[in-house]
Structure 1
């Protein structure tokens, strides 16, 4: 890779900064422009042989992966690139562009803080996600319910800010046509910033946010929140404790067997016929929202062929956390009796 310099062969970096580049409030530190790279011209920098063909050092796929195949050439994902270049040319991305795409925003920095009439003590959230063209999860449906009343506060499609690769319809339940219709009829939330603002109408820094695998929902919302209850973590803690208990019991059985075998060997007895004792299998990890809801609540969810329903999932996460809370309170009462 060759960075730009003062040579006339290189483009002016200012042309890559976009409108308003270098402008800002007085006294504000300006960001340095991102370096610009280019592919060297064949024979450039080599006066000995101008006709020499450049060595193609870079092989790449200009397309994207779709169902394990490259969209540009149809080859399997592990196949080498179908295009070549003399050098690798990275995309020039400014810090401002990265911030706009990936900046996570804490609740207390919300431009619209939750007001007293709307703020809720606890809410449950679930997001359905598609995949953007840069292969990042992007929220396309948002549901928020009140923890105590199950009132539906938000249940809306979200029009993504950036081009989408696909909508994961098999799991999200959201189709391209549904989003296009919702946008045309003005029945969806326009963009991620607006989606966060709508959530922050009901949520402030002290609100408990509940969900299952909540990190995925917060991540696709580019949202930092510290007061959370994750039903996946609650289930995982119980499963980990059960695994440790079985592993400890199995270790005790095997240690007893090895001790008995060693004792017999020291006494000169035959140990070839001794068989290792059977050990208990590890408990099944029923950590998905579907499995945990069936196990704890006896309720079947996510059975339809049209994908997941974020309202159903948000309410199920809420019910699952409530079950754990009731079990915890019951255990404390038993200790007091």
Structure 2
């Protein structure tokens, strides 16, 4: 049996050089391949440890000097790291990273990239022929329009990680259409793209109350030549700054990928990070959870800041800064993030005020978890009950859920503090 299987496409390779070449060409398991030293590691954490080693730093310095000498004249080349910029929106000041911090944070970010299995279950389109696994709630773009991010070009240096945010309007057929694109370098905070987008299709609902963009604003942008012509031009503009090795960061950016018709494997989604932390999915078979923490709620409960204050209008720049800050603080302050997740998990399982669950709990003398354990050893905790649900099991109250499981003799009682879905 080949000792080096690819965790994405399942191909097997007999030697390390072959799987390294495969990772460089496809971006598969890129968080286990050191592109500087051309070495392969068994885990993302092992790669992160390697990135701190003296041998890696020495090799990185050599290649950096060589690259600076060979591509000085290229417009797409970053021969020198730009200085940290002041990041502020409204009354909130966001985190700036020093040059020394940027390398360490990038290594940590690489280790947080989600697996292909998780991205598929979350609804990301990774295979044009296979299409999305998430149920179709509204019309989607044609799968024929989706394209993989271009591969690495050694002569051109792209950004290592960027944050992406799109605003959408509703087209005549009910599908989403891109009308605004904002992209920021995750490490430096530098704005790379800030542009409105002219829709090639008829817009029937601008959703102006959400983002403040309407036909008049688009027309003014066209007059000032500050608009991209359609999603294809927007995607090409994005590709000027990224390749398949770039990490794309954002809040629920599968929707941004859809309107850009983009397939990309290196992703850190702040919404997924939050639910993984709360429901302890790391290391287990991943099941898409029913609870989602939105960006505004994460900022308030985890970061302690307010966004979209006043009229509640979404700003591309503010949303990008906020999503970046959530991910950064997950990396910079893991203990604080764990404390937030523990509190969020406790609140999730707490009975809602005035619910049937709460009334039943007052009559129950034994702790809920003891009842669950006595009645059904295979479902020892309420969290086990939650994990046992299939993706299509939606219950409106505890009685509905218990009835479903009693019919199948899976348990007789799991207590009375199952939260509403």
**TM-score w.r.t. structure 1 length?**
0.52
Contact 2:149 2:264 in 1 (8 A): yes
Counterpart in the other structure of 2:306? 300
User: For residues 72-151 of structure 1, what are the structure 2 equivalents within 5 Å?
Assistant: 103-108=145-150, 116-117=156-157, 119-151=158-190
User: What SS does the corresponding residue of 1:108 show, helix, strand or coil?
Assistant: coil
Counterpart in the other structure of 1:218? 257
Cα deviation, residue 217, structure 1? 0.8
Residue-by-residue CA offset, 1:124-176 (whole Å, 9 max, x unaligned): 01001101111111110100000111111111111111111111111122111
Counterpart in the other structure of 1:94? none
The answer to whether structure 1 residue 184 and structure 2 residue 223 are counterparts is yes
Q: Judging changes above 3 Å, is the alpha-carbon distance between structure 1 residues 292 and 162 closer, same or farther for their aligned structure 2 residues?
A: same
**TM-score w.r.t. structure 2 length?**
0.42
Which has a greater percent of helix?
2
213-222 or 320-329: which moved more? Answer: 320-329
Select the residue among 238, 241, 247 that pairs with 1:208.
247
Contact 1:114 1:203 in 2 (8 A): no
Q: Judging changes above 3 Å, is the alpha-carbon distance between structure 1 residues 108 and 330 closer, same or farther for their aligned structure 2 residues?
A: same
User: What SS does the corresponding residue of 2:169 show, helix, strand or coil?
Assistant: strand
Contact 1:235 1:287 in 2 (8 A): yes
Gaps (5+ residues) in structure 2? 1-139, 282-289, 338-421
The answer to whether structure 1 residue 155 and structure 2 residue 197 are counterparts is no
The answer to whether structure 1 residue 235 and structure 2 residue 301 are counterparts is no
Alignment RMSD (CA, Å)? 2.9
Cα deviation, residue 241, structure 1? 3.6
User: What SS does the corresponding residue of 2:167 show, helix, strand or coil?
Assistant: strand
- Alpha-carbon distance in 2 for matches of 1:312, 1:141: 14
Q: Judging changes above 3 Å, is the alpha-carbon distance between structure 1 residues 99 and 146 closer, same or farther for their aligned structure 2 residues?
A: closer
- Alpha-carbon distance in 2 for matches of 1:207, 1:163: 33
Cα deviation, residue 295, structure 1? 1.6
Select the residue among 288, 310, 320 that pairs with 2:326.
320
Counterpart in the other structure of 1:290? 296
Report how many aligned residue pairs link the two structures.
191
Larger radius of gyration: 1
Cα deviation, residue 114, structure 1? 9.8
Gaps (5+ residues) in structure 1? 1-97, 243-283, 332-337
